[in-house]
């Protein structure tokens, strides 16, 4: 069974026949070249990871269900769940969908997707703290959390070795996800001026200390734990 954007596609109407070639999240190469007289190449990685293109094939019982399958997908950020990987989800952008008749009664649908580099925990990994404590990144790569913090005035939040200073009016939400990095005010409006200084957080694998200064009353950290490998 496969689930697309919270819609389960179950046998016998939908049978996944091929999930494509699985690639471990690969660090992106920023620069490579040769050094005169030295063996091999030198390679410099940046801080990012490569996406991977995959073809998923699904056998479908009739043409109406082919149409239904096509409508489930979005152009970007589809949430994909496989039944053989419990408590896990993946994100993927749609490239295209092709279909063809397969025998007398079924259709085969080929879906080309660009998968984001990581496998994510289905659970957001919520940790709630009053002022300080610890948070455990159970994944094997740094996470990009979403943080809700309550308090007033100028405060600081430190997770691991990173510190952010904010000017709070009741509460704020810090979205640290790459390409979505913003600060939201108490009315859920983007207001990046709340952040005085400090980079958006990346929580490293393992146990990380969390401390605050100033008038902080509550912290909720959605860890968004993730792994480079597809299976545990």
CB atoms within 10 A of CB 183: 19
**Confidence category of residue 104, pLDDT binned at 50, 70, 90:** confident
Euclidean distance between CA atoms 152 and 158, whole angstroms: 17
- Token pair 């952008």 is found at 93
**Confidence category of residue 228, pLDDT binned at 50, 70, 90:** confident
Q: What is the pLDDT of residue 231?
A: 54
What's the whole-number mean pLDDT along residues 85-108? 94
Nearest C-alpha neighbor of 119 from the set 89, 81, 143: 89
Is 2 strand, coil or helix? strand
Q: What is the pLDDT of residue 47?
A: 72
Euclidean distance between CA atoms 59 and 101, whole angstroms: 10
Q: Compute the mean pLDDT over every residue in the chain, rounded to the nearest whole number.
A: 93
Above 60 in pLDDT, residue 232?
Answer: no
Dihedral sign of CA atoms 20, 23, 25, 31 in order: negative
Q: What is the pLDDT of residue 56?
A: 96
What's the whole-number mean pLDDT along residues 71-82? 96
Report percent pLDDT > 70 for the chain: 98
Is 94 strand, coil or helix? strand
Q: What is the pLDDT of residue 170?
A: 97
Above 70 in pLDDT, residue 14?
Answer: yes
Domains and CATH numbers, the chain: 2-117 (2.40.30.200), 123-227 (2.60.120.860)
Chain segment 109-159, per-residue pLDDT in tens? 999 999 999 999 999 999 999 989 999 999 999 999 999 999 999 999 999
What's the whole-number mean pLDDT along residues 54-63? 96
Task: Label residue 149 exposed, middle or buried (CB < 10 Å: 0-12, 13-18, 19+).
Answer: buried
For residue 193, the 8-state DSSP code is G
**Confidence category of residue 230, pLDDT binned at 50, 70, 90:** low
Above 80 in pLDDT, residue 23?
Answer: no
> Per the structure block, which two tokens stand in for 119?
């496998």
What's the whole-number mean pLDDT along residues 194-219? 97
Above 90 in pLDDT, residue 108?
Answer: yes
CB 124 within 8 Å of CB 224: yes
């Amino acid at each position: 069974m496969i689930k697309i954007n919270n819609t389960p596609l179950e046998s016998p109407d939908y049978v996944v026949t091929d999930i494509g070639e699985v690639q471990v999240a690969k660090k992106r190469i920023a620069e490579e070249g040769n050094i005169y007289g030295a063996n091999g190449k030198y390679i410099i990685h940046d801080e990012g990871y490569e996406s991977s293109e995959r073809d998923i094939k699904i056998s479908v019982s009739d043409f109406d269900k082919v149409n239904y399958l096509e409508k489930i997908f979005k152009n970007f950020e589809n949430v994909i769940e496989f039944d053989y990987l419990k408590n896990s989800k993946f994100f993927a952008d749609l490239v295209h969908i092709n279909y063809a008749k397969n025998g007398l009664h079924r259709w085969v649908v080929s879906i080309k997707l660009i998968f984001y580099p990581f496998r994510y925990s289905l659970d957001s990994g919520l940790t709630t703290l009053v002022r300080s404590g610890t948070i455990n990144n159970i994944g094997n790569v740094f996470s990009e959390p979403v943080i809700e913090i309550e308090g007033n005035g100028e405060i600081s939040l430190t997770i691991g070795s990173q510190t952010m200073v904010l000017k709070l009016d009741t509460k704020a939400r810090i979205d640290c996800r790459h390409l979505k990095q913003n600060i939201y005010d108490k009315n859920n409006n983007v207001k990046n001026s709340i952040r005085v200084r400090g980079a958006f957080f990346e929580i490293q694998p393992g146990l990380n200390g969390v401390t605050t200064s100033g008038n902080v009353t509550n912290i909720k950290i959605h860890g968004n734990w993730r792994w480079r490998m597809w299976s545990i």
